[in-house]
Structure 1
């Protein structure tokens, strides 16, 4: 027993001190000098992932995992290359691919998704790893999952053109990888992204008609949540909040992409704040959240930017913002693939007025299909988890051949937990994650859940109505819970009980048997 314990300790310690090589020290990430010789989306180099991929904390068993170095270009049309990760489950369907854009929200290449996905990668990448259970969902359904480092080799967080082009070139690469992955050239591809990932996915939909018109035949739709369409709006909303660290991460990302304006932007920063501001270049999202919590960049007595919000009025800065604002003018592009967008009406970090503007403009300009699903009672953080089920449910319907809506449709729900099929998604996510902890082969040993149960329905309804009572969680230090409950009628709580009652009656479920654990009825 002592020997076994010692062996386990040595194994764990060995793993701890043998982390995968970070991208900044991994030559595989280097952009070759002859990158311009390749076509957009060409695979320049390929290798198996240098370590097992992970399921949040634990290693994840997939059939295959690869990294591709892919040719693309930056916001200015300069040739570059980025890494995308391709995962194959054990029950893989070569006709279905999910391009999953996680939030990186950092100007450090060592926080890239391709690194965060690796088992025993630095814990600083935990915020990206939090999305892996949703990636596992796609794998459990037999879909190949591609995860691009869409911020590119400069890790240009918030650079819309760079991000959108990388997503599209990543899709091109996957569709050209049949000799390596077995993925069919004519495979159906769906895009997904929340928050920072929504920025990349949203820009991909706008750029696709002009940048990658041939992909229209493959792209069956994009599910986009916490939809970032205007970086100024998000920066000002984040100022002085729990998430203030997004601001230096984002502006450092812009400086990386627009280096000609680095000196100008530097001149706008208070001298005593510069060291602390530029330190964010080395931070992953979690580090910046901790370091800059509640700090004020554009307000307060001693803001980082001398001209406060006037920083955004500097002509060169205003032009950068305009070039990175989605749905600004029709000539920038109009999506031609179906979109499902979900958002919290009380989003504190991405105020709904900007994605609503994008929805209105795209619809007015003739977008063929946009379903706009608004959660009445969630902010940005909560919608991260309560809205993803709606987005993945919508994608699964597309893969199953169900047609999207025609035209534009806006629906407001108590929360997006109430979106048809969302409860099923969470059941699958939880089941797959738990089974994965114990070494299940994803897609082969994991169960496949396709139908709602009385329990999943009740939990979804109850939790949704509870949030209707409590409302969004405040993010600013000077906000309190005071009066939050008072702003929501207790009728919401009663409605939750009423919904459960109707559900039980409709399906002839005996509530006593439910309490006793004897009910075995699916709905």
Structure 2
């Protein structure tokens, strides 16, 4: 493991030598720490302000892409003041981009930068977790090719990022037997679901005690058809380009059916972060870029889109899953969720599904946050009190609520979350006032 000297001015991953794996890294085991650097505590930006955490680390580690080929990516570890080193949340950010330079590890360190603002707004939500003393693990789960929506890539990178954090436990002060909970929203939930799906066979040694998935695009085909011609139609351009990056035969197919005069505009999405992507492709019809209306009917493309979806996977019974979704979500339609939920439960998964009658894809991220944190606290408490680590009894429930903000204690947690966000904005120390026992 190499200790790296941090560069004061953030450098894009494509130009930063820290992100380049050393020769022979492919021969290391998945999750091996290749390089580590400590960032200044005031180095994580919210536009013009900086977060104040006790420690911030970045770890370059070995993982695998969606086809199992060796690759390396980075995770950012945040340590609050008075941290409880026995608890860690791994959060998968909403990185809707195929540009490496839009990765969370970089966008969280940029100031005065609108393309980075989405990740920095997410950081305000994460302040609620830091205020509880939990370690935060923020992997660049899409890897150096920024493989947006490629579930297996995300699953590998998430689990290997946890392995890397545990492997660096002496350096970052983490309990090697740490209890871990996974959380993701939107595309981050897709990757989180994949990590859950493969954990038992890929990384069974990890002590994952809970999974939280919000606004989950369980069926990629349905999601891409839904967003087309809408505000977020750029997600379709980004997704197809991402699939082409991972699967060369798809790249050749798409190139053969693209209109020559539209190719440059289609491939331009490869270089854009989310805000720029929205602005560039809003309300466009992606089908107008192709020379045949049935371009999606290719078995090659449709089979791969099915393969990277969660809708035809079976969730394991050993990890409790908390799902929250808005009934009127215009990006990831709720209508496909009940059948997937029923199938997962029929096969032994333990799921609590909350369906909000109000809100949409964006607002649900905020309104669902307090109730999710309550369940996350319960998950950590359940682990602490279950010293013998008895297996859970699988149970499923699907509840419709007007809004998750009306759930017991949710408004109180929201108030505490707003205080945490203000602490973050004004660079106050993030963490509980007193050390954990």
Deviation at 1:116, TM superposition (A): 1.3
Matches of 1:306 and 1:414 in 2, distance apart?
Answer: 45
* Correspondence for 1:23: 13
The one of 47, 63, 72 aligned to 2:63: 72
- The answer to whether the 8 A contact 2:197-2:313 is kept is no
Alignment of 1:49-64 (within 5 A): 49=39, 52-55=43-46, 57-64=48-55
- The answer to whether the 8 A contact 1:139-1:442 is kept is yes
2:297 is the alignment partner of 1:313 = yes
The one of 248, 255, 263 aligned to 1:259: 248
The one of 392, 396, 407 aligned to 1:408: 396
Matches of 2:420 and 2:90 in 1, distance apart?
Answer: 19
Matches of 2:370 and 2:257 in 1, distance apart?
Answer: 42
Structure number with greater CO (CA < 8 Å, separation at least 6) is 2
* Correspondence for 2:222: 233
Matches of 1:120 and 1:19 in 2, distance apart?
Answer: 11
Matches of 1:120 and 1:428 in 2, distance apart?
Answer: 26
* Correspondence for 2:5: none
Matches of 2:423 and 2:57 in 1, distance apart?
Answer: 23
Q: Does the C-alpha gap of structure 1 residues 196 and 232 become closer, same or farther in structure 2, counting only changes over 3 Å? A: same
2:171 is the alignment partner of 1:145 = no
Stretches of structure 1 lacking an aligned partner (at least 5 in a row): 1-17, 449-523
- The answer to whether the 8 A contact 2:243-2:250 is kept is no
Deviation at 1:265, TM superposition (A): 1.3
Matches of 1:432 and 1:318 in 2, distance apart?
Answer: 44
Matches of 2:345 and 2:47 in 1, distance apart?
Answer: 38
The one of 216, 224, 235 aligned to 1:246: 235
The one of 189, 201, 222 aligned to 2:211: 222
Deviation at 1:307, TM superposition (A): 3.2
**More displaced stretch, 264-273 vs 72-81:** 264-273
Q: How many residues align?
A: 421
Deviations 1:312-357 (A, max 9, x none): 2201101211210114154xx6353110000011111101133333
2:324 is the alignment partner of 1:342 = yes
2:85 is the alignment partner of 1:94 = yes
SS at match of 1:374: strand
**More displaced stretch, 243-252 vs 403-412:** 403-412
Deviations 1:209-256 (A, max 9, x none): 1111122xx111011100111211111110111111111111111111
2:285 is the alignment partner of 1:287 = no
* Correspondence for 2:372: 391
SS at match of 2:382: coil
- The answer to whether the 8 A contact 1:192-1:201 is kept is yes
* Correspondence for 2:22: 32
Q: Does the C-alpha gap of structure 1 residues 311 and 423 become closer, same or farther in structure 2, counting only changes over 3 Å? A: farther
* Correspondence for 2:186: 195
Deviation at 1:54, TM superposition (A): 2.3
SS at match of 1:44: strand
* Correspondence for 1:43: 33
2:154 is the alignment partner of 1:163 = yes
Deviation at 1:108, TM superposition (A): 0.2
Alignment of 1:363-382 (within 5 A): 363-367=345-349, 369-382=350-363
Structure having the higher strand fraction is 2
SS at match of 1:28: helix
RMSD between aligned alpha carbons?
2.1
- The answer to whether the 8 A contact 2:39-2:56 is kept is yes
Larger Rg: 1
- The answer to whether the 8 A contact 1:55-1:433 is kept is no
The one of 103, 108, 131 aligned to 2:94: 103
Matches of 2:60 and 2:29 in 1, distance apart?
Answer: 13
The one of 235, 257, 267 aligned to 1:268: 257
Deviation at 1:49, TM superposition (A): 2.9
SS at match of 2:205: helix
Deviation at 1:390, TM superposition (A): 1.9
SS at match of 1:377: coil
Give the TM-score, by structure 2 length: 0.91
**More displaced stretch, 402-411 vs 387-396:** 402-411
* Correspondence for 2:125: 134
- The answer to whether the 8 A contact 2:47-2:111 is kept is no
* Correspondence for 1:458: none
Matches of 2:291 and 2:417 in 1, distance apart?
Answer: 46
Matches of 1:271 and 1:354 in 2, distance apart?
Answer: 35
Q: Does the C-alpha gap of structure 1 residues 365 and 56 become closer, same or farther in structure 2, counting only changes over 3 Å? A: farther
Q: Does the C-alpha gap of structure 1 residues 312 and 33 become closer, same or farther in structure 2, counting only changes over 3 Å? A: farther
Q: Does the C-alpha gap of structure 1 residues 445 and 307 become closer, same or farther in structure 2, counting only changes over 3 Å? A: farther
Matches of 1:49 and 1:85 in 2, distance apart?
Answer: 10
Alignment of 1:389-468 (within 5 A): 389-401=370-382, 406-443=394-431
Matches of 2:360 and 2:432 in 1, distance apart?
Answer: 36
Matches of 1:121 and 1:397 in 2, distance apart?
Answer: 38
- The answer to whether the 8 A contact 2:110-2:116 is kept is no
Deviations 1:289-325 (A, max 9, x none): 0111111113xxxx123334x3322011012112101
- The answer to whether the 8 A contact 1:150-1:163 is kept is yes
- The answer to whether the 8 A contact 1:101-1:192 is kept is yes
Deviations 1:133-171 (A, max 9, x none): 111111110000000000011100010000111111111
